[in-house]
Chain A
Amino acid sequence: METLVIILIDGLVYASWLFLIAVGLTLIYGVLRILNLAHGSLYALGAYAAASLVIRYFDRGLWPPGSYFLMLGAAVAVGLLAGPFIERGLLRRIYNRDPVYQLLATYSLFLILEDFIKLVWGVNPYFAYKPAWLLGQVWLGGIPYPAYSVLLIGVALLAGGGLWFFIRRTRTGRLVVAMIYDPEISMALGVNVPRLSLLTFTLGAILAALGGAFTAPTLSVAPGISVEVIVLAFAVVVIGGLGSPEGSAIGALLVGLVRALMVHQRPELELFAIYLVMALVLLIRPQGLFAREEVRRV
């Protein structure tokens, strides 16, 4: 019973981290129809920005809990700066190109951003773990967890809930949904596509940076963290269905729980199990669990 609780919590912790990254990726694909391979770099930018600010913040000896707001601010700032810059500067020019061309373009963007990060922050790791150590422990299922993990789950829930409210309850959000489900009709009805694309990409960038910023205190922030994240985020997005925000939540939960179950029961199968789930979903529902069946109209 205790093991079950532990598996559930571990799964939830991992899922909330995956969700923050995957949901932005899937949202961007849904509206822009571009698979953004540089999404992991936005995560890394968020992590680096938060880590370097948090280190300075604590060096000054300021009010420790303020660091959480600093991390949030860093993520929003990275998203607001990098999002529009990338969307206006690169993506807008390639919307109507061949998908392979788009993949190559975002892949090169990923390479550029990796080197940009090395240029700005160097190759040595950043340690900004103070915010994660600040909150102490909570005992769940008979073992101690960092209370920070609970905070991470909260951040993911808030981000997910906020996103849900935005896309289901606000006018702009509904336009985003309309674009995801039927871009042609939406355009015919006069949706301002460039504005919506810019908005969606920026939102996705903020979410990725948020994932990075709140993960930074649990990591040695060093070159290469973006690669780790993007591969798993793709698995989540494929399982949930490309372009489906709800799907990425379910996909993240599925991957998180399967991984936690394996780590506790059969550690040697951890990675295999994640991709087995993905392969099964692709076999049974190639469009993903939540993406709508595409009606081929001619």
Chain B
Amino acid sequence: MVTFVSFSRHCLSWGLIFVLALAACAPPATPAPTVALTVPPATPTVAAPAPTPTAAPAGPTPTGAPPSPTPAVPGAPAALKIGIVTFLSGPAASPFGVPARNAAEVLIENLNAGKVPAPYNQKGIGGVPIQAIYVDEAGGAEKQVAEFRRLALEEKVNLVIGYISSADCLAVAPVAEELKVLTVLFDCGTNQIFEERDYKYVFRTHAHQVIENVGAARYILRAKPNLRSIAGINQNYAWGQDSWAAFRDSVKKLKPDVQVVGEHFPRLYAGEYSAELSALLAARPEVIHSSFWGGDLESLVIQAAPRGLFQQSIVVLTTGDTMLPRLGRDVPKGIVIAARGPHGALAPKTPLNDWFVKIYKDRYVVRPVYPSYHIAQAILGVKAAYEKAIAANGGKWPTQDQVIAAFEHLEFETPSGVIRMALGKGHQAVEPVVLGITGDFDPAIGEVKLTDVIEFPAECVNPPDGMKTPDWIAQGFPGAKCP
């Protein structure tokens, strides 16, 4: 027994080292800089239930579309099969993946029923109903490549709309090109995709992450022309580091004498920021930048508020819009909020947006957030491209190449305003950047109101086509047209 105990102790200390190594490399705690938003939980993949009583079907469930009585387009398939890939489990599901899936579901239902306002009032896509297959994005880039091949080769989808994580976008895009499957990236942030190479089959219907940091820098310098010091607190992986670098470099380019007094990179999902907040409070920067998202963002705000950080410094939260409906009346005053474009509380007041918010709220109670807007952009972009291609093809169903030709340089209406496919040889969208400051609580909308809202048009915050964003910032934004 004695020997057994000491043996088991010995064995256990090895086991412990093994476990620590496992825990350190296991997906849940992977802050590796190349692994972007992915990071699934160590649990078996469970489809996340919808946040409302109307539970949506879980897993790869086709949303059945009734055969449309609309006159069929010659040569059209019975249904247009779209693979939709978004986080249904893991930490990115609740803030991003599920709001995107919800928007896709309600929008596709309305499209198939022909209930979407003009110019999208034709049923389905060119009269052909949409059949969506939902796939969970959790599991890492390699799993997503395998899932993509399955969608393309076994499910034989007509196209894929997907990917929140930049790592997944970067991994899937070359495979889409290889398999010649039309793929629309709907939410990932990295600017690399269309700046590093050209794609024929890959499109992205939203702007990349760099622009909102350029917009944030311009916004801050308008509010504080005599800005002297900035600091950042961002998650320690590609998203956080790239966002901070873009903001810091933009500010320094626009006002070279600004001092950087703190650069903090806590690990992804750390959740506890007491020491970082102390450092920021002690350094007293005039402006603090953070691209935190999801639970990390909310934890940061909860911990910073009672310490008066938002009174001491102007804090810029580049994904801040997502927390407005969640924290309601307790969102502190004076925070600069962005939404990765004109989305959510910063979306334009158009009939299409009002309609979108209404159908979403009717179904899911809460309002749509920016991933919901991003997926709506992708779906409506696909519809616009197909219908333009049908018209160009003399009313006959187009080939994939014809759809691609129609998609390139397309301009189309969305709840976020008009989207232009202006970059990456017509494959990458540009969007304006809108920012505002949190003000008083408005009981009518259940959120704080945003004041001092400024919109920077797309020409102001996006580089010209063919120029890499870091070079554009380094050269002092050549060609930028700002109001």
Contacts and interface: CB of A to CB of B under 8 A. Distances in A.
B418 interface: no
B327 A127 contact: yes
Pick the most buried of A6, A148, A219, A223: most chain B CB atoms within 10 A of its CB. A223
A238 B18 CA distance: 13
A197 interface: no
Interface in B255-281: 262-267, 269-272, 274-276, 278-279, 281
Contacts of B417: none
Contact of B48 (A123, A215, A286): A123
B306 A136 contact: yes
Contacts of B223: none
Given A111-B44, A114-B43, A223-B41, A99 B11 contact: yes
Interface string A258-298: 01100110011011000000000010001100000010111
A219 B302 CA distance: 7
Interface in B238-263: 262-263
Given A3-B282, A222-B94, A264-B279, A115 B43 contact: yes
Interface residues of A, number: 73
Contacts of A287: 13
A133 B46 contact: no
A136 B307 CA distance: 8
Contacts, number: 192
Contacts of B281: 143-144
Interface in A206-256: 215, 217-220, 222-225, 227-228, 230-231, 234-235, 238, 242
B3 A296 contact: yes
B464 interface: no
Interface stretch (A8-16, A84-92, A163-171): A8-16
A128 to B, nearest CB: 9
A143 B297 CA distance: 22
A66 interface: no
Given A124-B51, A137-B308, A231-B20, A129 B302 contact: yes
A79 interface: no
Contacts of A228: 29, 269-271
B303 A218 contact: yes
Contacts of B299: 218-220
Contacts of A143: 278, 281-282, 307
Interface in B19-33: 19-20, 23-24, 26, 28-29
Interface in A20-57: 33, 35, 37
B305 interface: yes
Contacts of B12: 33, 35, 99, 242
B295 interface: yes
A141 B275 CA distance: 13
Given A111-B42, A224-B269, A260-B275, A144 B307 contact: yes
Contacts of A137: 306-308
Contacts of B3: 296-298
The dominant DSSP class at the B interface is: helix
Given A122-B49, A218-B272, A2 B282 contact: yes
Interface residues of B, number: 67
Contact of A263 (B44, B91, B275): B275
A99 B302 contact: no
B308 A115 contact: no
Given A122-B49, A183-B5, A294-B6, A227 B330 contact: no
Contacts of A298: 2-3
A235 B89 CA distance: 28
A296 B265 CA distance: 45
Nearest to A278: B20
Contact of B272 (A3, A14, A37, A111): A14
Contact of B42 (A3, A13, A227, A242): A227
A279 to B, nearest CB: 10
B431 interface: no
A190 interface: no
Given A14-B275, A125-B295, A132 B282 contact: no
Given A220-B298, A228-B29, A114 B306 contact: no
A224 B91 contact: yes
B355 to A, nearest CB: 26
B282 A297 contact: no
B16 A263 contact: no
28 contacts: A13-B274, A33-B5, A111-B43, A123-B98, A127-B327, A129-B302, A132-B302, A133-B306, A137-B307, A144-B307, A144-B308, A215-B272, A218-B299, A219-B295, A220-B294, A220-B297, A220-B298, A225-B271, A227-B29, A227-B269, A228-B270, A238-B20, A263-B275, A263-B278, A263-B279, A264-B278, A267-B265, A282-B17
Question: 3 shortest A-B CB distances, which residue pairs?
Answer: A220-B298, A10-B275, A220-B295
Interface of B: 1-3, 5-6, 8-9, 11-13, 15-17, 19-20, 23-24, 26, 28-29, 41-44, 46, 48-49, 51, 89-91, 93-94, 98, 236, 262-267, 269-272, 274-276, 278-279, 281-282, 294-299, 302-303, 305-308, 326-327, 330
